[in-house]
Chain A
Amino acid sequence: MLNLTANTFKHGVHPPENKEETNGLPIRQFPFAPLIILPMQQHIGAPSQIIVREGQEVARGQLLAKANGYMSVPMHSPVSGKVRKIANVPVISGQMAQGIYLEPFPFSSQEVIEGNPIPLSASPEEILQGIQDAGIVGLGGAAFPTHVKLKIPEGKTCEHLIINGIECEPYLTTDHRVMLEQADDIFMGIRYLLKVTGAKGVIIGIEANKQDAADHLSGRIPKDLPVKVQVVPVKYPQGAEKMLITSLLGKEVPSGGLPIEVNAVVVNVATTAEIGRLLPHGQGIQERVVTITGPAIRKKGNYLIPIGTPLRYVLEQVGASENISEVYMGGPMMGVSASNLDISIVKGTSGIVVFGDNDIKKTEKIYPCIKCGACVDACPIFLNPSKLGILAKFEAYETMAEDFNLMDCFECGSCSFVCPSNIPLVQYFRLSKGIVRKRKAALQT
């Protein structure tokens, strides 16, 4: 069924997939850690506002913090237990940010309390509110509040709802397992999403290396749903919204624009499943599926891990080897290398990939750009990373932004991946984007 002439975007790269070790392993429940550490900033936007006190006893699923404005989501308790402390907790950005230390009751049944169900018959506004109330954010890794993404701006219409089951990031099999095991939740989620967006058709995009998931879902599409499963060739970064839209619809989202400009909305498949699972019960997110893999892990697998479980505890449980060298939160391409094992699993953690000392090639010497053009051929959005890299070296940040579209770079890492001179191109671009943003903000005030 693999269709090699199928449409896909131009450029891109083919990193080794390394998915075979975990894609056959069913999702397993992870034990509760003796101490749960919950940062309030788990999404893009304002941190949630804590509404519990120190010493208070909370039930699993109870609201711990409410959304702080529209661009924010609430946080629910992942365990039944006691609030030990409200203090600064380490987060992946390397800062310390406000959070809650929770101590689970050791003998509790850990039953989840029910909230106000949002039936399918509810109005689109009520469903959007329900999605925010459930604390749902993009589970693919970006952690952008889903209700904000689903709000169709005035004057625009959504024709295509795209469910993103691509998972092009090497090593990760989270979405793959979700598609194989939570088909009913996914279709339930699609019903809610159709109602909210008013889309006429649904395409579930899946990469060709997950043919079993595509077959599984195709065979279960409810008769009354306008759903189509489309398999696309394996290529990185196929899962990036704009690339996926190009592959599935053959349209290009304009620079700086959102998918709605081409009448599409893209939602991650695990996020969809979560909407379908939580809304009928009015519950909030308490756990998520995380792929834990990499050469330095003994018990690799796909685990359902309570949000807030400390990374250190996770690594102990899965038998990480002694000489861990690199821990990626997310995958090795777009994930972040953790500098601290005291951070915890957050809503945006789609995978943990761990390498030991001997498993990775150490960064070799950085050579000057030889103008081979490999990066230009890799960049899926047709930037010129070679030129940008040279400009970054000379700190010509304004030129990069104005003449070479720096701000369109979404940091997929394809350019660094292919560069024979080991130039850390994406790191340069992240840095440059940050500086440009800072200078712009300074000009405005």
Chain B
Amino acid sequence: MTILIALLTLGGLTLLLALMLTIANKKLYVYEDPRIDVVEGMLPHANCGACGYPGCRPFAEALVNGEMLPGKCTVSSEDGRKAIAEFLGVDAGSEEKRVARLACAGGLNVAINRAKYEGLTTCRGEALISGGSKGCSWGCLGHGDCETVCDFDAISMNEFGLPVVDEAKCTACGDCVEVCPKDLFSIHPVSHRLWVACKSLEAGDGVLEDCEVGCTACGKCAMDAPNLISMVHNLPVIDYSKNHQIQVPIQRCPTGAIVWIDEKKGIIKGAEAKKIIRKGKKMLGES
């Protein structure tokens, strides 16, 4: 008997609650386009934010609502983008691939350290202590905060303590831009291959004391491509709205501060650029 009462009570309660849930499900139902889930499943789940949305799901919503085209996602493969476009029946849209570019070439074989630094081994930590130990106030500190922050393993520190960006892996998410205390990274379309790899606002031989590959503001590149390049605050500034697919400006640069970043061969310096053979660390006072 007791068992029967227990069963009935619980059974009744179960039925009642089930009924309430069913009604709630019907009445409070919010329609969500099922395609959002599908599209989200097709996105790379990187949640990197390169598309301008906080993560992959909001971007999927935007895609389904037709506010965006799949091409905005720089992390997906070409095929992945096509698949999403087909599924939604839209144009894939094309977005030129963009990558992070580094405006410093002062590795430890060419740029001196004025002081010794002890403390937190991060660039942001070192930059707090009177700008860090590097001779050049603008140069890379080399602890690799950018390497750590990059979720796509696109940055690796080379033997000279400089970050190298793997164009294929970089999704232009901009995390490295934000983390670098010296503001050395910026996001550019890959077609921007003519590049100034220096940020020093100094001019003349003073630059070379701190770094052998710095821009001395001699202005030769600007002379050779007067419409394309102008000197602003002792640095060449390339006007990328003009035709910049030329290697003329790098040829006479005495230090190799303006370079051509080749898709296959990597960084190419001009013919007159000083050849660097030192492999070890450059010491204070060494020429």
Decide yes or no whether A219 CB sits under 8 A from chain B.
no
State whether B128 touches A434 (Cβ < 8 A): yes
Nearest neighbor of A325 in chain B, beta-carbon distance? B116
Known: A88-B202, A94-B137. A431 touches B131 (CB 8 A): no
Q: Mark B60-96, 1 if CB is under 8 A from A, else 0.
A: 0000000000000000000000000000000000000
- A313 close to chain B: CB less than 8 A: no
CA distance A336 to B114 in the complex (A): 16
The yes or no answer to A304 lying at the interface (CB within 8 A) is: no
Q: Is residue A182 contacting chain B, with contact meaning CB distance below 8 A?
A: no
B202 to chain A, nearest CB (A): 7
Q: Is the CB of A339 within 8 A of B201?
A: no
Q: Which residues of A contact B137 (CB under 8 A)?
A: 90, 94-96
Of the candidate stretches B99-107, B119-127, B223-231, the one touching chain A is B119-127
List, in ascending order, chain B residues with CB within 8 A of A430's CB. 128
B125 touches A427 (CB 8 A): yes
A263 contacts B by Cβ under 8 Å: no
- The residue of chain A having its C-beta at the shortest distance from the C-beta of B131 within the complex is A94
* Interface: A428 (CB within 8 A): yes
A363 to B125, CA, bound (A): 15
Asked if A362 is at the interface (CB within 8 A of a chain B CB), the reply is yes
Do the beta carbons of A339 and B119 come within 8 Å of each other? no
Whether A92 pairs with B119 at a CB distance below 8 angstroms is no
Taking a contact as CB atoms under 8 Å apart, the answer to whether B120 and A340 are in contact is no
Q: Is the CB of A337 within 8 A of B125?
A: no
Which residues of chain B come closer than 8 Å to A431, judged between CB atoms?
Answer: 120, 122, 124-125, 128
Q: Is the CB of A96 within 8 A of B114?
A: no
- A93, A94, A325, A435 — which one has the most chain B CB atoms within 10 A of its CB? A94
User: Which residue in A339, A428, A434 is a CB contact (below 8 Å) of B130?
Assistant: A339
Q: Interface residue count for B (Cβ, 8 Å)?
A: 20
Q: Does B10 contact A (CB under 8 A)?
A: no
Please measure, in the bound complex, the distance between the C-alpha atom of A363 and the C-alpha atom of B129, giving whole angstroms.
15
Residues of A within 8 A of B132 (CB): 94, 339
Distance (whole angstroms) from the CB of B263 to the closest CB of chain A: 33
Residues on A with C-beta less than 8 A from B119 are: 363, 424, 427
Q: How far is the CB of B273 from chain A (nearest CB, A)?
A: 25
User: Which residue of the partner chain, among B118, B129, B202, contacts A336 with CB atoms under 8 Å?
Assistant: B129
A443 CB, nearest partner CB in chain B, Å: 13
User: Which residues of chain A are near B118, meaning CB under 8 Å?
Assistant: 362-363
A369 within 8 A of B: no
| Given A88-B201, A94-B127, A96-B137, A339:B114 Cβ within 8 A | yes
The residues of B that contact A427 with a CB separation of less than 8 Å are 119-120, 125, 128-129
Candidate in B114, B120, B124 with the most chain A CB atoms within 10 angstroms: B120
In the bound assembly, the distance between CA atoms of A291 and B124 in angstroms comes to: 31
CB distance from A268 to the nearest CB of B (A): 23
- The answer to whether A424 and B202 touch across the interface, beta carbons within 8 angstroms, is no
B120 adjacent to A424 (CB under 8 Å): yes
Given known contacts A339-B114, A427-B125, is B130 in contact with A94 (CB within 8 Å)? yes
Closest A residue to B118 by CB, please name it: A363
Q: How far is the CA of A90 from the CA of B124 in the complex (A)?
A: 20
**B window 209-235: CB within 8 A of A:** none
**Distance to closest chain A CB from B56 (angstroms):** 22
Asked if A240 lies at the interface with its beta carbon under 8 angstroms from chain B, I say no
Name the B residues within 8 Å of A339 (CB-CB). Answer: 114-115, 117, 129-133
The winner among B117, B125, B131 for most chain A CB atoms within 10 A is B131
Q: Which of B125-184 contact A (CB under 8 A)?
A: 125, 127-133, 137
> Which of these, B115, B124, B127, B202, contacts A340 with CB under 8 Å?
B115
Contact residues in A for B116 (Cβ distance below 8 Å): 325
In angstroms, Cα B209 to Cα A340, docked, is 14
User: How far is A426 from B137 in the complex, measured between Cα atoms in Å?
Assistant: 23
Given A94-B127, A96-B202, A339-B114, A428 contacting B133 (CB threshold 8 A): no
Shortest C-beta distance, A98 to chain B (Å), equals: 11
Q: List 15 A-B contacts (CB under 8 A).
A: A88-B201, A90-B137, A94-B137, A95-B131, A95-B137, A337-B130, A339-B130, A339-B131, A339-B132, A362-B118, A424-B119, A427-B128, A431-B120, A434-B124, A434-B128
Of all A-B residue pairs in the complex, the 7 with the closest CB atoms, nearest first, are: A94-B131, A339-B115, A339-B130, A363-B118, A94-B130, A424-B119, A430-B128
A interface residues, Cβ below 8 angstroms from B:
88, 90, 92-96, 325, 336-340, 362-363, 424, 427-428, 430-431, 434-435
- Name 15 extra pairs, CB < 8 A, besides A336-B129, A336-B130, A427-B125: A90-B137, A94-B129, A94-B130, A94-B137, A325-B116, A337-B130, A338-B115, A339-B133, A340-B114, A340-B130, A424-B120, A427-B128, A427-B129, A428-B125, A435-B124
